[in-house]
Amino acid sequence: MAKEQTALMERAKRARRILKTPTQFKVCMGCDSIVAAKVNICPNCHSYRYREEAQFVVDQAKRLSTREQNSVVAEDLF
């Protein structure tokens, strides 16, 4: 299986988890990442502005699960 295919499958798996419990997550308004609701500062872009409405989280999870990752995340920096 191609690396890209595996990455998309992993994103879809994470999206399913988010869709089951959207109130446990929020969307960073700095980089559009979905993070745990308990996070105060985004680990990816260090923003502190979020949208927490469950429907917004669900919509973002659906969008992100169908495309490849194009943002830089913390583990990319090591």
pTM reported for the whole predicted model: 0.79
pLDDT per residue as tens digits for the range 31-56:
999 999 999 999 989 999 999 999 99
- 7 within a domain of the structure (yes/no): yes
Domain count along the chain: 1
- 78 within a domain of the structure (yes/no): no
- 77 within a domain of the structure (yes/no): no
48 DSSP assignment? -
In this prediction, residue 76 carries a pLDDT of: 53
Task: Give whole-number Cα distances, 5 to 11, 19, 61, 66, 67, in Å.
Answer: 10, 21, 18, 11, 10
- 66 within a domain of the structure (yes/no): yes
- 62 within a domain of the structure (yes/no): yes
Domain that holds residue 39: 3-72
